[in-house]
Structure 1
Amino acid sequence: MTLFERACAAQGLDAPSKFIRRFEDTADLLGEPATVTTRHVRRWWREVPPPTPRARAWRIIHAMLGVDPIELGFLNRPAGVTVGSAPLLAQKGTSVDRRVFLADTIGVATAAGLPTPVAQLPPSGRQGAIGTAHLIELREGLRSLYHLDNAYGGGDLRSLAVRHLKRIRRVINTSKYPDTIGRQLQLLAGETAEHCAWLHYDADEQDDARRYWGEALTTATMLRDSSLEILVLASLSMQASYEERPRDGYDLAHAAKERAVRFGAPVLQSLLASREARALSLMGDASSARHSLTESMRLADREGRGRPSPEWAAFHGAAELDYAQGLFYNDSGHHDRAAQFLRAALDHHDRTYGRNRALYRLTLARSLVNAGNVDEGAAHAVESLGHLEEVESERVMRRLNEVVDLLDQRNAVSARNATQELREYVHERGAA
């Protein structure tokens, strides 16, 4: 058995069909368009030295085994293949021993239905190599942060996300890996920086949010990754509108929308049209805002056609469109009409998004109070307190404070008990 065949067998790849399946999974993960046949696998296993694969196949083999193919009997690297230079060294206060790191990632990879690493990899030169198992583990960490944020808000997650970003940076700067893995690590760092920005935005720490979004945009530009660039521009548009800079919000949303055209993903384009509409509405251009909202709804109706949207746009659906319509009518002073759409947003919302549920209900309460329905608005605000117990979001608390201020201005006797309960809750959260 040759050295390469033994290395494959050590990872359970003891048949060409298993090797090909793992190869295809790794190629998909890395975005490398490459295929391999049974004949290729058998030649690599049995010939001494094995024939040199093409550059894409070489990178995939390096990533799937976590080992430079040179160490497995291949004589020459194909043109265009490079390897990161620094070994993965333990640093003070960290634990980056390769065997421990691999052992930790086995459970994650298995749960994800993806290839698992092996704890011991001959020969010696492989110490410190980073492969797909590590990439999977780091990406799963980011995905977990997404899920927790959707459900509970970002208040308690900011420090975790920042630490996760620091970990990815450390791996990038102190590890040895093939160039394809390096690109994916850089992209993951950009995506994590973007999520750090979102969490600081949700905590109403806007300067920190801008700093992390700037880092993410730099990464997107460096990698020429349009998907990350669109995400950052869309997020910066949202922040600009939130900070009452609607002209900036429009320009950023429009730039993202222009870049998204070639993706042919209707839901993504719908989301960006909605961001455009929000900025236009805040600028007082109701006619153009209505046109953008109509476009957003038309594009959303095309869901299932064209290319799928990126995972980060999954939240955009019927509830978000209803919410956008509600905000539009609020901006134009039609609070009764706004309340109709905000009720629909609550009916359509996905219970996965706990923060959105609280935000929608408080926005509905605000519209009802502005429309003169003080008792119903106060009742919705009180009902939101149960959701707020589960959510840590300064944006949502800011909306609650707006409702309390409105109720104080109305000074309605019938809603006085509800208003007092809301004041006490705001005071308790502030004291905490």
Structure 2
Amino acid sequence: MDRRAFLADSLGAAAAVRLPAHVRPLTPPGNSGAVGTTHLVELREGLRSLYHLDDAYGGTAVRSLAIRHLRRVRRVINTGKYPDTIGRQLQLLSGEIAGYCGWLHFDADDQDNARRYWGEALTTATVLRDADLEIRVFSQMSLQATYEGRARDGLDLARAAQERATSLGSPVLQSISATRGTRALALMADGTRARRRLADAMRLLDRNGRGRPSPEWAAFHGPTELEYAQGLLYAELGNHQAATQFLRAALAHQESSYGRNRALYGLTLVRSLIDAGEVDEGAARAVEALEHLEEVESGRVMRRLAEVAGALRHVDAVSARDAAEQLTQYSKAKGAA
């Protein structure tokens, strides 16, 4: 296969997203030769670029690119010539991208399509018997379950992920699964077990480097993620003063490259400040947050923005009413754009 031809189709054809310079174009293979390691590396680099875009801008902005990349990989699988070893890697990559499409649709708040893509990814994981892909999908489906208020399902999915992560010997993947379980238990109002599970997540993260290396997709998980999880835990248990302390720390420690998470953390902090009675600070931070949302396209973030606006409207204070009005106008303008 002509590598230059393979790189001719643009991964960044969607102009709505600012693609970084290192994203290079890709095309489906022709019939002129075999798919080799170089082509596989290029396809993986395309997925890696999508990770960076999602971190910065959110899933709504990136999902169409991911769907195109998934179709591209599937065309390579169905039309290319390659040995079995390359074929397995292509199939695994297809499953990883399908799972990632599930995540992006989840972040865009398109839950039915998220389930569909995760189902495709799990099918691939089962056929290939790939535990890492199973862990990834189960942990993300656990997050979705708690997001939708299905705490028991969230706990069961987190357990499934943790069982596989334990067998795989990856402390970081075990920590991610334990963190998902923490959220589910908090929603079930089981504070004792939720605290214990979060302590497990912290202990496991401290063991990073001693077991199996964590995969690239797990790079988001670290002390900042656990600070955020602890803030959510305290908020769910009604200790809003403690929640604000951990949410402040999570926001302060979150890297600037994670634009979507910074937006989500900031709005979650605002909600806890309101619940803790710190209305003026919450209102001020809510208005400040609008400046950081311009380039973020995430259904989850916009839902959190609507929740914060609703909470502010129910507070009898001038600062709260003014902030609620600004948030509402911003949401309308962004929705019309």
In the alignment, what sits opposite 2:265? 360
Specify the alignment match of 2:34 in structure 1.
Answer: 129
Q: Which residue does the alignment assign to 2:317? A: 412
* 1:158 equivalent in alignment to 2:50: no
Alignment-derived partner of residue 214 in structure 1? 119
**2:254 is aligned with 1:338:** no
Partners of 2:140 and 2:322 in 1: CA distance: 39
Structure 2 counterpart of 1:316, which letter?
Answer: H
Q: Post-superposition shift, 1:104? A: 4.8
Show the counterpart of 2:278.
Answer: 373
User: C-alpha displacement at 1:99, in angstroms?
Assistant: 5.7
- Structure 2 partner of 1:294: 199
Deviations 1:40-95 (A, max 9, x none): xxxxxxxxxxxxxxxxxxxxxxxxxx7xxxxxxxxxxxxxxxxxxxxxxxxxxxxx
Q: Per-residue deviation at 1:379?
A: 1.2
Give the Å deviation of 1:203.
Answer: 0.7
SS at match of 1:268: helix
Q: 1:262 Cα shift?
A: 2.6
CA distance in structure 1 between the partners assigned to 2:321 and 2:193 by the alignment: 40
Partner of 2:27 in structure 1?
none
Match of 2:184 in 1: 279
2:105 is the counterpart of 1:200: yes
8 A contact 2:309–2:323 mirrored in 1: no
Q: Could you list the runs of 4 or more consecutive aligned residues of structure 1 that deviate by over 4 angstroms after TM superposition? A: 102-105
- Whether 1:145 and 2:50 are equivalent positions in the alignment is yes
d(CA) in 1 for partners of 2:6, 2:254: 39
* Residue deviations 1:380-405 (CA, integer Å, cap 9, x gap): 11111111112000100100110100
1:187 offset after TM fit, Å?
0.4
> Contact 2:142 / 2:155 at 8 angstroms: preserved in 1?
yes
Q: CA deviation at 1:270?
A: 1.1
- Name the counterpart of 1:30: none
Structure-2 separation of matches of 1:415 and 1:329? 23
CA RMSD of aligned residues (A): 1.7
**Equivalent in the alignment of 1:386:** 291
Give the residue type in structure 1 aligned to 2:111: Q
**1:163-221: CA deviations, max 9, x gaps?**
11111111111111100010000000000001111111011100000000000000000
2:5 aligned residue (101, 119, 123): 101
Q: Work out whether residues 322 and 344 of structure 1, in 8 Å CA contact, stay in contact via their aligned partners in 2.
A: yes
Q: Compare CA radii of gyration and give the structure with the larger one.
A: 1
Alignment equivalent of 1:402, drawn from 307, 317, 335: 307
State the partner residue of 2:140: 235
Q: 1:144 and 1:233 mapped to 2: Cα distance?
A: 23
Residue 312 in 1 paired to residue 195 in 2? Answer: no
- 1:286 and 1:103 map into 2 onto residues whose CA distance is 52
Aligned partner (choices 215, 219, 226) of residue 131 of structure 2: 226
Describe the superposition over 1:101-132 as per-residue Cα deviations: whole angstroms up to 9, x where unpaired.
Answer: 25659xxxxx99xxxxxxxxxxxxx8231111
Q: Counterpart in 2 of 1:3?
A: none
**Higher relative contact order, structure no. (Cα contacts within 8 Å, ≥ 6 residues apart):** 2
Deviation of the 1:243 alpha carbon: 0.8
Q: 2:3 touches 2:39 (CA, 8 Å); kept in 1?
A: no
Inter-partner Cα distance in structure 1 for 2:239 and 2:267: 17
SS in 1 for 2:114: helix
Distance 2:212 2:260 in 1: 29
Gaps of 5+ in 1: 1-65, 67-97, 106-110, 113-125
Which amino acid letter does the alignment assign opposite residue 306 of structure 2? N
Shift of 1:414: 3.3
1:170 paired residue number: 75
**For the Cα contact (< 8 Å) 2:312–2:323, is it kept in 1?**
no
Give the AA of the match of 2:256: R
Deviations 1:260-307 (A, max 9, x none): 113322222111111011111111111111110111111122223222
Query: Which residue of the partner structure matches residue 186 of structure 1?
Result: 91
User: One-letter code of the match for 1:253?
Assistant: A
**Contact kept in structure 1, 2:159 and 2:181, CA below 8 Å:** yes
TM-score, with normalisation over the residues of structure 1?
Answer: 0.71
Compared CA separation, residues 103 and 229, structure 1 to 2 (3 A):
closer
Please say if residues 202 and 393 of structure 1, whose CA atoms lie closer than 8 Å, have aligned partners that are also in contact: yes
- TM-score between the two structures when normalised by the length of structure 2: 0.91
For the pair 1:349 / 2:250, whether they are aligned, the reply is no
Counterparts of 1:308 and 1:248, CA distance in 2: 28
Alignment check: 8 A CA contact 2:34 2:82 kept: yes
Shift of residue 247, structure 1, vs aligned partner: 0.5
- Aligned twin of 1:259: 164
CA offset at residue 420 of structure 1? 2.2
Code of the residue aligned with 1:396 in structure 2: it is V
Report the equivalent of 2:17: none
| Contact 1:102–1:133, Cα closer than 8 Å, also in 2 | no
Distance 2:54 2:112 in 1: 20
Gaps of 5+ in 2: 10-20, 23-30
Q: How many residues align?
A: 318
Distance 1:398 1:414 in 2: 21
Identity of aligned residues (%): 66
